[in-house]
């Protein structure tokens, strides 16, 4: 496998960590049979974005969540469906004060009704609502992983601040950092200023090793969000500015975060790439730097284990989602003949790639109507 550039390397590194977490979580020990795992990438809050998110979910509650459909419920929809009554009631009597104008609540009610997850009716000029199902608290734990494959001095400084933020706020139950394994007897990351509460993973072609186990963070306690640091670096002893985040606000943020993870998963990267390019392909990662072709211009789907990763035949490398866009100078549309062969279903190789990744993402979620 050839690597050509930090952006490409970090992107593929991140996908490999996501694939490993989906197959092998937790890093040590085992999950009980009532727990399922969902993995997402590039999600966060207004002040922090995580590379990889692992959600340990209650399996039964996750099946109940499927009733609400594959799309996320935003904070306005959550406010409605979580508080909707079991019997018909005027919406302003049934729902707690949202803290913002009620017209936004009415909009959310209509959106929920359009999605078939809330019943609505009218008594005179009054909108009445009734829940279809209770909303389940399906996410048990949230684990955040920061991916830093190449930890130079500047990356180490940024990483330290990011992890300090995560530990102080305690929005996730655990925080980890994943870095590329080296040939050193002691991995260099162990000498960096990483909070002891954060776990450390060393990623090699052969697998992933736990170097340091994390501590469980106090997600039910108030969190501290560092909003401004002293400008003078480590030598500056002046006070930082911070804000407290109440447990209720943290719970709301966690719930919204898990909903976004439920919708996106981690294979949504293809939505920002160009699988309709004739040079785009997927190659199955078999570890040790070896890959199998997943599809080619004749429509071959290779069997075997390993996660399909995006590959650019024009550049002979694993491209990043930023590189693989319509502005890429190597972009060429698929020849029309590819789409007329019924390869192996309608739409051509690019459409089939999208369906393949969407199907793999769908498998991680129960089908609506199972419970």
DSSP string, 267-335: GGGGGGS-TTBTTEEEEEE-STT-EEE---TT-----SSS-EEEEETTTTB---TTTSSTT-TT--BPP
Q: How confident is the model at residue 220 (pLDDT cuts 50, 70, 90)?
A: very high
Query: Distances in Å between the alpha carbon of 142 and those of 164, 254, 286?
Result: 17, 8, 28
Query: Residue 182 has what pLDDT?
Result: 87
Q: How confident is the model at residue 339 (pLDDT cuts 50, 70, 90)?
A: low
In the predicted model, what is the mean pLDDT of residues 23-31? 92
Query: Residue 338 has what pLDDT?
Result: 64
In the predicted model, what is the mean pLDDT of residues 119-137? 96
Query: Residue 356 has what pLDDT?
Result: 67
Among residues 170, 169, 172, 176, the alpha carbon closest in space to that of 226 is found at 169
Sign of CA dihedral 100, 104, 109, 111: negative
Q: How confident is the model at residue 292 (pLDDT cuts 50, 70, 90)?
A: low
Contact present, 353 and 360 (Cβ < 8 Å):
no
Residue-range domains of the chain with CATH:
6-61+137-265 (no CATH), 74-131 (1.10.10), 268-363 (no CATH)
Radius of gyration of the CA atoms of the chain, in A = 23
Q: How confident is the model at residue 294 (pLDDT cuts 50, 70, 90)?
A: low
In the Cβ-directed half-sphere of 287, how many Cα atoms lie within 13 Å?
11
The predicted model scores a pTM of: 0.85
* Cα(313)–Cα(330) distance, integer angstroms: 10
* Cα(352)–Cα(349) distance, integer angstroms: 5
- For residue 123, pLDDT beyond 50: yes
Among residues 24, 46, 48, 50, the alpha carbon closest in space to that of 37 is found at 24
- For residue 8, pLDDT beyond 50: no
Query: Residue 355 has what pLDDT?
Result: 73
* Cα(62)–Cα(111) distance, integer angstroms: 22
Percent of the chain with pLDDT over 70: 83
Each residue's pLDDT tens digit, 145-165? 999 998 776 777 789 889 999
In the predicted model, what is the mean pLDDT of residues 322-327? 83
Q: What is the average pLDDT value for the chain, to the nearest integer?
A: 85
């Amino acid at each position: 496998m050839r690597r050509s550039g930090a952006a490409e390397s970090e992107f593929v590194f991140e996908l490999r960590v996501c694939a490993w977490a989906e197959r092998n979580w937790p890093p040590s020990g085992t999950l009980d049979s009532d727990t399922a795992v969902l993995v997402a990438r590039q999600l966060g809050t207004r002040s922090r974005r995580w590379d990889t998110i692992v959600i340990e979910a209650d399996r039964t509650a996750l099946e109940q969540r499927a009733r609400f459909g594959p799309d996320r419920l935003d904070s306005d929809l959550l406010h409605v469906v979580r508080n909707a009554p079991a019997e018909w009631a005027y919406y302003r009597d049934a729902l707690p004060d949202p803290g913002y104008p009620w017209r936004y609540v009415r909009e959310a009610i209509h959106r929920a009704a359009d999605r078939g997850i809330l019943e609505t009716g009218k008594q005179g000029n009054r909108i009445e609502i009734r829940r279809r199902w209770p909303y389940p608290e399906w996410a048990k734990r949230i684990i955040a992983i920061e991916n830093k494959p190449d930890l130079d001095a500047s990356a180490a400084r940024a990483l330290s601040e990011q992890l300090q933020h995560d530990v102080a706020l305690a929005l996730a139950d655990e925080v980890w950092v994943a870095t590329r394994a080296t040939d050193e007897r002691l991995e260099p990351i162990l000498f960096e200023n990483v909070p002891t509460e954060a776990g450390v993973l060393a990623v090699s072609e052969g697998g992933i090793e736990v170097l340091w186990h994390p501590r469980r963070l106090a997600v039910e306690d108030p969190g501290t969000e560092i909003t401004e640091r002293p400008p003078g670096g480590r030598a500056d002893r002046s006070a930082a500015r911070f804000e407290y985040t109440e447990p209720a606000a943290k719970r709301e943020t966690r719930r919204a975060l898990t909903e976004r993870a439920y919708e996106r998963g981690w294979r949504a990267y293809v939505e920002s790439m160009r699988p309709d390019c004739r040079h785009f392909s997927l190659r199955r990662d078999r570890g040790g730097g070896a890959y199998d072709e997943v599809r080619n211009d004749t429509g071959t789907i290779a069997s075997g284990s390993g996660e399909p990763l995006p590959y650019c035949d024009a550049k002979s490398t694993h491209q990043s989602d930023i590189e693989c866009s319509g502005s890429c100078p190597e972009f060429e549309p698929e020849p029309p003949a590819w789409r007329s062969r019924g390869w192996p279903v309608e739409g051509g190789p690019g459409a089939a790639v999208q369906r393949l990744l969407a199907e793999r993402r769908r498998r991680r979620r129960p089908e609506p109507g199972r419970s």
